[in-house]
């Protein structure tokens, strides 16, 4: 379950932190490939199109940031800039060239001045009339750029509604899930809290694989399941008594990410 417990500002900063970690990654040595891999493994895949290595990837970089930061609901996961621009316009999240951007806004470029979008990056910071960006595929590299506000090469801005993420259903689910986990802090085997965890799991209907957990069984996955049951979020946190089985269920929900494919958020379930 991916829902970042924070304000609009925290979402903006999370996007920038993710972008900064990619600075210097390049096409020539293959270090950028995790960006394309993350895009291609995200579900649903836009237009069912798998992006090949070697294709222009500036928009895939922005999509990658959205995926790893859990911001897909407000930053479109799309290949090609034109599809992202269309999404922002359709959702009334578009501003023209004269707009003064904020950190975390998405900036689009028109190099030829012909009204056709060519390139995209993320606004890193704004100071006076200076905008600093981070862009994927700037000469095949994730690099920074400095330009002036209102520059003629600016096509416009996608302005994600990051604030909406903190009030989304996923946010409320993650908060309930974490609150239940906090309740069980300090639970030791044989304690009343431990017994309550086992009871919650064993009373769940349907009982996964029909197996009632015993007091002597390993119970790390049972703990996660019990928190999900108590919080009422079993539609996004699957119940299982074994870690391998729980992982497979997360994969079926398209909610499984390898360790380098997503920045973990409060409420995510981590496996060791």
Please report the pLDDT score of residue 11 as a whole number: 87
Query: How confident is the model over 238-242, as a mean pLDDT?
Result: 94
Quickly state the pLDDT bin for 260 (edges 50, 70, 90): low
Quickly state the pLDDT bin for 172 (edges 50, 70, 90): confident
Quickly state the pLDDT bin for 268 (edges 50, 70, 90): confident
Please report the pLDDT score of residue 173 as a whole number: 78
CB 170 within 8 A of CB 3: yes
Report the percent of the chain where pLDDT is more than 90. Answer: 73
d(C-alpha 109, C-alpha 113), whole Å: 9
Q: Could you tell me the two tokens for 77?
A: 């996961």
pLDDT of 10 strictly over 80: yes
> In sequence order, what are the residues at sequence separation of 6 or more whose Cβ sits closer than 8 angstroms to the Cβ of residue 209?
240, 241, 245
Count, in order, helices (H) and strands (E) of the chain: 9, 6
Please report the pLDDT score of residue 168 as a whole number: 64
CA atoms within 13 A on the CB side of 27: 16
Please report the pLDDT score of residue 261 as a whole number: 58
d(C-alpha 264, C-alpha 113), whole Å: 40
Phi, psi of 157 (to 5 degrees): -135, 135
As a whole number, the mean pLDDT across the chain is: 91
| Higher-pLDDT residue of 146, 173 | 146
Query: How confident is the model over 217-242, as a mean pLDDT?
Result: 92
d(C-alpha 126, C-alpha 145), whole Å: 12
pLDDT of 48 strictly over 50: yes
Task: Return the percent helix, strand and coil in the chain, to nearest 5.
Answer: 40, 10, 50
Other Cβ atoms closer than 10 A to 176: 17
pLDDT digits (tens, 9 = 90+) for 120-169: 999 999 999 999 999 999 999 999 999 999 999 999 999 999 988 866 66
Please name the residue ranges forming H helices in the chain.
Answer: 8-21, 33-41, 58-68, 81-90, 162-165, 169-183, 192-202, 220-231, 243-252
CB 43 within 8 A of CB 254: yes
pLDDT digits (tens, 9 = 90+) for 78-132: 999 999 999 999 999 999 999 999 999 999 999 999 999 999 999 999 999 999 9
d(C-alpha 271, C-alpha 258), whole Å: 10
Q: Could you tell me the two tokens for 174?
A: 């993650």
d(C-alpha 172, C-alpha 184), whole Å: 19
CB 214 within 8 A of CB 268: no
């Amino acid at each position: 379950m991916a829902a970042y417990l924070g304000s609009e500002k925290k979402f903006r900063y999370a996007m920038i932190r993710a972008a900064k970690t990619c600075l210097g990654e390049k096409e020539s040595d293959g270090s950028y490939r995790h960006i394309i891999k993350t895009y291609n493994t995200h579900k649903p895949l836009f237009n069912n199109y798998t992006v090949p290595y070697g294709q222009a990837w500036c928009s895939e970089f922005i999509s990658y940031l959205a995926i790893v930061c859990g911001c897909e609901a407000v930053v479109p996961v799309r290949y090609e800039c034109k599809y992202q621009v269309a999404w922002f316009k359709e959702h009334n999240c578009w501003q023209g060239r004269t707009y003064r951007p904020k950190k975390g806004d998405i900036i689009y470029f028109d190099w030829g001045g012909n009204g056709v979008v060519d390139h995209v990056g993320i606004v890193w910071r704004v100071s006076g009339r200076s905008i600093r960006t981070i862009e994927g595929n700037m000469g095949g590299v994730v690099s920074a750029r400095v330009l002036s506000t209102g520059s003629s090469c600016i096509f416009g801005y996608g302005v994600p509604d990051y604030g909406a993420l903190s009030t989304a259903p996923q946010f409320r689910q993650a908060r309930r899930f974490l609150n239940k986990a906090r309740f069980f802090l300090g639970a030791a085997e044989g304690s009343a809290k431990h017994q309550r965890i086992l009871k919650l799991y064993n009373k769940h209907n349907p009982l996964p694989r029909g197996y009632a957990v015993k007091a002597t069984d390993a119970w790390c996955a049972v703990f996660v399941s019990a928190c999900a049951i108590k919080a009422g979020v079993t539609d996004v946190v699957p119940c299982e008594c074994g870690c391998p089985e729980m992982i497979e269920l997360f994969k079926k929900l398209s909610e499984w990410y390898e360790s380098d494919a997503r920045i973990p958020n409060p409420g995510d379930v981590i496996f060791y």
